[in-house]
Amino acid sequence: MKKKWIATLLTAALTVSLLGCGGGASDKVAATDGAAAADSGKPYIAMIALGFSHQYWQAVKQGAEQAAEEYGVSITFEGPETETQVDKQVDMLKTALGNNPVAVCMAAIDTESVAGILQEAKGKGVKVVGFDAGVGEAEADCKCTTDSIEAGAIAAEHAAELLGGKGKVAVIGYSQTTVDSVERNKGFIDKITNDYPDIEVVDVQFGDGDHLKSAEIAKAMVQANPDLNLIFTNNEGSCIGAYNGLNEVGKIDDVKLIGFDSSAAMKEAIRNGQIAGAITQDPIGMGYKSIEAAVKLVNGEEVESFIDTGCYWYDADNMDDPQIAPLLYD
């Protein structure tokens, strides 16, 4: 059912000043879309992700659009071409704020880069919802995302099971600055360190989620640690990169691999047993709950500071289960 909006909140939101705008072609498209959304006659919510084209982000967008229709709001959804384009994402945020949204939902590549901008926006009445990687705690009115520490810990439990409680493991993360990447690693490493004394974490590296970089890291890891038993990778790009690297050096059958998220390549490799399994999130639910939380915040309703959108382990045995299959994307 569509929610009624408080007129005074809308009036306050419309007073948000233009904070800047970016210069690239895609920024101009985003500005046009935002202007159209702002002029739609409905409350406008801007949603800015780490990326855009990957199926994961399209699933988040799908959930957000479902919520927008149900709650009677207008939204834009955008993100840079790659998940390392900090400046591009900052420009997108500035442009979106120039179109006077009542709320911003954001997954920041680098939380520090947007902290001041979001603080200024909050001071002018804009509600801020962090989703996926989120934003800094000081900037967020609430966060809708996977509990990344718990997700990393679940991956660690399955790693320990695969290794029989002993062995050597390494980690390939996709970012040293993005919150969810840091927390996934922390959850995995802390769980291994605290609960499995016979498993040693021998190396932690970061490959920007890039297939080629992650492949080279995986090859270097097995060269430096010939007795390495398992690699945990904390996003799809890291996983497929490591998978390619292990294949190139003939180690795919010797070093177990655990991934995060999904893709057509990941699903195929999991089905044939070359990737042991992975953690998947609920991107549709994340998108929906982010917009829902933004609506409630603007309406002055109470919202929990952290909304866990869930995560699940999947492997060849359960990936076709009704609970899991809809959460696996190409």
Same domain? 141 vs 229: no
Q: Measure the CA–CA gap between 2 and 310, rounded to whole angstroms.
A: 25
- Tokens 């679940």 locate to 154
Dihedral (Cα; 96, 102, 108, 110), 10-degree rounding: 80
| Mean local confidence (pLDDT), 211-224 | 98
Who has greater pLDDT, 53 or 141?
141
Who has greater pLDDT, 96 or 29?
96
In a domain, 1, yes or no: no
Same domain? 199 vs 224: yes
> Would the pLDDT of 95 be above 80?
yes
Same domain? 42 vs 167: no
Q: 211: domain range?
A: 148-281+315-327
Radius of gyration of the chain (CA): 21
Cβ atoms of residues 60 and 133 within 8 Å: no
Token couple for 232: 């945990």
282-323 tens-digit pLDDT: 999 999 999 999 999 999 999 999 999 999 999 999 999 999
State residue 55's pLDDT score: 83
Q: Which of 174-178, 222-226, 311-315 has the lowest mean pLDDT?
A: 174-178
| Mean local confidence (pLDDT), 57-81 | 95
In a domain, 120, yes or no: yes
Q: Measure the CA–CA gap between 228 and 171, rounded to whole angstroms.
A: 11
> Would the pLDDT of 226 be above 60?
yes
Q: Measure the CA–CA gap between 185 and 196, rounded to whole angstroms.
A: 16
> Would the pLDDT of 18 be above 90?
no
Would you list the DSSP string of 178-205? SHHHHHHHHHHHHHHHHH-TTEEEEEEE
Same domain? 319 vs 188: yes
Same domain? 124 vs 14: yes
40-67 tens-digit pLDDT: 679 999 999 999 988 889 989 999 999 9
3-15 tens-digit pLDDT: 434 333 333 333 3
Give the whole-number percent of the chain exceeding pLDDT 70: 88
In a domain, 240, yes or no: yes
Cα 247 to the center of its chain, rounded Å: 27
| 124 pLDDT tier (thresholds 50, 70, 90) | very high
| HSE-CB for 266 with a 13 A CA cutoff | 29
Q: What's the CATH number where 141 sits?
A: 3.40.50.2300
Same domain? 154 vs 125: no
Mean pLDDT (the chain) is 89
In a domain, 305, yes or no: no
In a domain, 192, yes or no: yes
> Would the pLDDT of 34 be above 90?
no
> Would the pLDDT of 20 be above 60?
no
State residue 315's pLDDT score: 98
| Cα-Cα-Cα-Cα dihedral sign, residues 75, 57, 130, 312 | positive
Element (H, E) at 277: strand 277-281
State residue 38's pLDDT score: 57
Cβ atoms of residues 102 and 9 within 8 Å: yes
Cβ atoms of residues 307 and 142 within 8 Å: yes
Sheet holding 277-281, edge to edge: 199-206, 167-173, 230-233, 256-260, 277-281, 311-314
| Mean local confidence (pLDDT), 109-114 | 93
SS3 135: coil
State residue 199's pLDDT score: 98
In a domain, 15, yes or no: yes
In a domain, 176, yes or no: yes
Same domain? 52 vs 113: yes
Same domain? 88 vs 232: no
In a domain, 270, yes or no: yes
Same domain? 45 vs 190: no
Three-state DSSP string of 212-233: HHHHHHHHHHHHHCCCCCEEEE
Same domain? 226 vs 126: no
DSSP letter at 321? S
Alpha helices by DSSP H, the chain? 7-13, 25-38, 55-71, 86-98, 111-123, 148-163, 179-195, 211-224, 236-248, 264-271, 283-298
State residue 37's pLDDT score: 62
State residue 227's pLDDT score: 97
Would you list the DSSP string of 66-96? HHHHHHT-EEEEE--SSTT-HHHHHHHHHHH
Say what the pTM is.
Answer: 0.75
State residue 7's pLDDT score: 32
Same domain? 174 vs 277: yes
Domain count across the chain: 2
State residue 121's pLDDT score: 95
240-260 tens-digit pLDDT: 999 999 999 999 999 999 999
Same domain? 277 vs 287: no
